[in-house]
């Protein structure tokens, strides 16, 4: 138990340090989120628009700029969380493989990555909630932060999954960007006023978008949709853990014996090979005869030769 806990804490520390060393991710988190919220505020009118919220089964009226800021904040959190998690998972694949081959426990490694995703999502949610609180009147900050954390967890799990599956960084970045753009575009009530697109409720941001809009713009708090987003996030993380478990090598004793022990037919085939048999015979002869005399006692042989040289030199004089 102590070994597993030590392995978990050590890999969690290394994963978080990897996040901190990622300067591009830090720049996105610090600069991109407030910039994207400011762009949504400046480029959207202050006209009051009606929006339909499935979470409360009613329509609500709010300024288009406020709705755009909440939707943009969700999109920014998803992009940053997906990028951070995908980059760290993709760049640490070779090191994780070596650790597993060296006997590092598998379950603490996978749990450490999932906890790192949760901590990253929580920090991004707190930071984005503060920015929204400064930029617009927010009715319920706590549920709004929960919705943003759910968005970060969902796309953090997607980044963890893609970091274990794709072969190149470009493919992973492209998939995260396209999925985030499609998801946030369909969930934005300014663009999709009626929210009647088929399958929109199956997207990752459906529950967190309903919770965020209801908490920020209405007096209602649809906690059930928040639980839906957490369920979606947990399912994504569990799928990522299964993929990590299946695609990375194991160093258990059974797999080691299976990998090292050769089949009898292969051994017999090797022994019938003339080249292999001659090399084995030569090695056996050398083992029985022992090392050459000059290799048995190198120091004594060296001293004997030095004595001969001295005697030879004295006779010459």
Percent over 90 (pLDDT), the chain: 16
Asked which of 4-8, 39-43, 176-180 is least confident by mean pLDDT, the reply is: 4-8
Q: Is the pLDDT confidence value at 293 over 60?
A: no
What confidence category does residue 36 fall into, taking pLDDT thresholds of 50, 70 and 90?
Answer: very high
Q: Which two tokens stand for residue 1?
A: 């138990």
The confidence score (pLDDT) of residue 244 equals 66
Q: Is the pLDDT confidence value at 257 over 50?
A: no
- How would you classify the pairing of strands 58-63 and 48-53? antiparallel
Across 97-111, 141-155, 187-201, 215-229, the highest mean pLDDT is recorded for 141-155
Instruction: Report the mean per-residue pLDDT for the chain.
Output: 76
What confidence category does residue 23 fall into, taking pLDDT thresholds of 50, 70 and 90?
Answer: confident
Q: Is the pLDDT confidence value at 255 over 50?
A: no
Across 64-68, 78-82, 201-205, the highest mean pLDDT is recorded for 78-82
Q: Residue 3's closest CA among 96, 97, 107, 92?
A: 107
Asked which of 134-138, 185-189, 219-223, 283-287 is least confident by mean pLDDT, the reply is: 283-287
Q: Is the pLDDT confidence value at 129 over 90?
A: yes
What is the tens place of the pLDDT at every residue in 42-74?
A: 888 888 888 878 777 777 888 888 888 999 999
Entry pTM: 0.73
What confidence category does residue 248 fall into, taking pLDDT thresholds of 50, 70 and 90?
Answer: low
* Long-range contacts from 36-42, C-beta under 8 angstroms, 24+ separation: 36/72, 36/73, 36/75, 36/76, 37/69, 37/72, 37/73, 37/76, 37/128, 37/131, 37/132, 37/135, 38/135, 39/72, 40/65, 40/68, 40/69, 40/71, 40/72, 41/65, 41/68, 41/69, 41/135, 41/136
Torsion of CA 225, 231, 235, 241, to 10 degrees: 130
Q: Is the pLDDT confidence value at 270 over 90?
A: no
Torsion of CA 234, 66, 35, 13, to 10 degrees: -20
What is the tens place of the pLDDT at every residue in 134-179?
A: 988 888 889 999 999 989 988 988 888 888 888 888 888 999 999 9
């Amino acid at each position: 138990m102590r070994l597993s806990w030590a392995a978990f804490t050590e890999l969690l520390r290394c994963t978080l340090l990897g996040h901190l060393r990622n300067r591009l991710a830090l720049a996105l988190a610090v600069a991109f989120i407030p910039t994207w919220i400011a762009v949504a505020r400046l480029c959207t009118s202050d006209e009051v628009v009606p929006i339909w919220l499935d979470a409360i089964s009613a329509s609500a009226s709010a300024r288009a700029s406020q709705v755009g800021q909440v939707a943009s904040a969700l999109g920014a959190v998803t992009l940053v969380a997906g990028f951070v998690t995908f980059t760290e998972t993709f760049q640490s694949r070779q090191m994780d493989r070596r650790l597993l081959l060296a006997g590092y426990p598998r379950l603490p490694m996978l749990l450490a990555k999932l906890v790192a995703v949760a901590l990253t999502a929580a920090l991004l949610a707190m930071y984005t909630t503060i920015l929204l609180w400064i930029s617009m009147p927010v009715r319920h900050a706590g549920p709004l932060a929960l919705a943003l954390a759910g968005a970060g967890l969902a796309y953090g799990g997607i980044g963890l999954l893609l970091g274990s599956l794709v072969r190149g960084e470009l493919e992973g970045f492209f998939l995260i960007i396209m999925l985030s753009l499609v998801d946030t575009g369909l969930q934005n009530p300014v663009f999709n006023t009626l929210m009647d697109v088929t399958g929109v409720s199956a997207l990752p941001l459906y529950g967190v978008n309903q919770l965020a809009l209801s908490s920020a713009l209405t007096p209602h708090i649809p906690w059930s949709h928040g639980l839906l987003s957490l369920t979606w996030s947990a399912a994504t993380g569990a799928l990522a853990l299964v993929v990590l478990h299946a695609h990375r090598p194991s160093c258990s004793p059974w797999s080691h014996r299976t990998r090292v022990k050769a089949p009898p037919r292969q051994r017999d085939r090797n022994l019938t090979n003339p080249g292999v048999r001659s090399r084995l015979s030569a090695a056996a002869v050398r083992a029985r005869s022992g090392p050459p005399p000059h290799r048995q006692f190198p120091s004594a042989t060296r001293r004997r030769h030095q004595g001969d040289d001295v005697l030879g030199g004295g006779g010459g004089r």
